[in-house]
Amino acid sequence: MNIKTTLQQAACLRRSSTTVAAALLICAGSLYGASVWAADTTSDKAAAPAAGSPAAGSPRILVLATGGTIAGTTDPRSAIGYNSGNVKGQELVRAVPGIEKLASINSEQISNVGSQDMNDEIWLRLAHRIQEAFDRNEADGIVITHGTDTMEETAFFLQNVVRSDKPVVLVGSMRPDGSTSADGPNNLYEAVEVAASPKSRGRGVMVVMNDQIHAPRWITKTNTTAVQTFASPNAGVIGYVDPASIRFVAPVLASTRDAFSLPTNGRLPRVEIVYAHSNMDGVQIDHAIADGAKGIVLAGEGDGDASREALDALDRAAKKGIVVVRSTRVMSGFVNRNVEVEDDKRGFVVSLDLNPQKARLLTQLLIANGITNPGKVQQAFSGTF
């Protein structure tokens, strides 16, 4: 069954007295996965029946497609097998019943990859296009279709580089088109709903998945395959959404910092994540030093700790001017300064609430903007709340 057939059936269910939940069970769809690069950035106005066209003055939403499970199709290699990034963004939009009533929608293809293949080139392309669209007043909000594997990283990156109070909403799915309970169409509908809402103004970048709205700093993927995979362990969701309403439960927080400048050479500095474990030596850290890393993030045990040998290796890195950040492999909690590790003496930075992958991103942006002094780096980690 293809995506159009699936969603036509869901549309019929919505028109009947059958519950919305039943309709969504049939029509949902999405994923995170692997595919090939597709540098197609042609604009395509999402077609809709004249009867369902948005009224004049409706919000203008630009959908930027990057691939992922939401753009994937099932594969017979296993009961849950699929291929990421097989469906273009304009097809995704056209296949969602009623989405054309929410806003005037245009779609562009930025890439078509599984999010495990997300890279600096795509990130910078995405950031430049978002900023361009806002600066030229081409859109009132932006929706990014994305795989779930690295969605939290892309969201956090964009939160730190986009200069606008207009909303940017990332959305994906855990199940592809053709699966028995695809979640992509409903997620995409709700993402456009959030991006088009006046309530979203000033909230910056958000992630919409499974009827929930999350902030980039807090969100993380917690399950490999479950639809309810995203959570914000240290803060909770910032809102809820369904096809009829949007309810924010957190206030709009005014930012006290400027967005970071993007690197002019097209690449972010090399920052490695080293995973701590029992019986750990310093070999991985010494290799990172030898490989030219500008920063090292420790995915530490507990409160960002590691073996004596590993900490000694991090000392060697810090003495060479490499930015050293202690994070944790634990799901929730803060990494605190100077508890078991003498951070002041060693010249280390702690990630506070940021997990290793987000700590890496912030370290990359800081180094790219010429900020490498441990004190100033620590101040930046504290100032991204």
Which is more confident, 140 or 177? 140
Last residue of a domain, one of 196, 217, 248: 248
Q: Do 9 and 142 fall within a single domain?
A: yes
pLDDT digits (tens, 9 = 90+) for 227-255: 999 999 999 999 999 999 999 999 998 66
Tell me what pLDDT residue 182 has.
85
Q: Do 308 and 242 fall within a single domain?
A: no
Q: Do 194 and 276 fall within a single domain?
A: no
Q: Do 277 and 241 fall within a single domain?
A: no
Residue 300, in any domain of the structure: yes
Query: What pTM did the predictor assign?
Result: 0.83
Edge-to-edge order in the sheet of strand 43-45? 43-45, 104-113, 60-67, 141-145, 168-171, 205-209, 212-214, 239-242, 245-248
Tell me what pLDDT residue 175 has.
85
Last residue of a domain, one of 214, 248, 282: 248
- Rounded to whole angstroms, how far apart are CA atoms 145 and 128? 16
Nearest one of 69, 247, 258 to 175, comparing CA atoms: 69
Return the SS3 of 267: coil
For residue 289, pLDDT beyond 60 = yes
Tell me what pLDDT residue 108 has.
96
Q: Do 203 and 334 fall within a single domain?
A: no
Residue 261, in any domain of the structure: no
Residue 140, in any domain of the structure: yes
Last residue of a domain, one of 248, 283, 315: 248
Tell me what pLDDT residue 35 has.
32
Residue 362, in any domain of the structure: yes
Q: Do 205 and 173 fall within a single domain?
A: yes
Q: At residue 145, what are phi and psi to the nearest 5 degrees?
A: -85, 135
For residue 9, pLDDT beyond 70 = no
Domain carrying residue 313: 271-382
Q: Do 234 and 181 fall within a single domain?
A: yes
For residue 371, pLDDT beyond 60 = yes
The structural domain count of the chain equals 2
Question: In the predicted model, what is the mean pLDDT of residues 306-335?
Answer: 97
287-318 b/e (C-beta count within 10 Å ≥ 16 → b): ebbeeebbbbbbbbbebbbbbeebbebbbebb
Tell me what pLDDT residue 159 has.
96
The tokens for 223 are: 């399950």
Q: Do 231 and 300 fall within a single domain?
A: no
Question: In the predicted model, what is the mean pLDDT of residues 329-351?
Answer: 96
Q: Do 40 and 149 fall within a single domain?
A: yes
Residue 254, in any domain of the structure: no
Q: Do 241 and 330 fall within a single domain?
A: no
Q: Do 173 and 302 fall within a single domain?
A: no
The tokens for 63 are: 């959908």
Residue 266, in any domain of the structure: no
Reported as type and span, the H/E element at residue 138 is none
pLDDT digits (tens, 9 = 90+) for 142-168: 999 999 999 999 999 999 999 999 999
Q: By percentage, how much of the chain surpasses pLDDT 90?
A: 73
pLDDT digits (tens, 9 = 90+) for 64-89: 999 988 876 545 454 445 455 568 88
For residue 188, pLDDT beyond 90 = yes
CATH of the domain at 74: 3.40.50.1170
Tell me what pLDDT residue 28 has.
34
Instruction: Tell me the DSSP string of 327-383.
Output: EESSSSS-BPTTSSS-HHHHT-EE-BT--HHHHHHHHHHHHHTT---HHHHHHHHHT
CATH of the domain at 296: 3.40.50.40
Q: Do 48 and 101 fall within a single domain?
A: yes
Are residues 92 and 191 in contact, defined by beta-carbon separation less than 8 angstroms? no
Residue 259, in any domain of the structure: no
Residue 255, in any domain of the structure: no
179: pLDDT confidence band, cut at 50, 70 and 90? Answer: confident
Question: Burial level of 186, CB count in 10 A (0-12/13-18/19+)?
Answer: buried
Question: Burial level of 140, CB count in 10 A (0-12/13-18/19+)?
Answer: buried
For residue 29, pLDDT beyond 70 = no
Residues recognised as catalytic: 69, 148
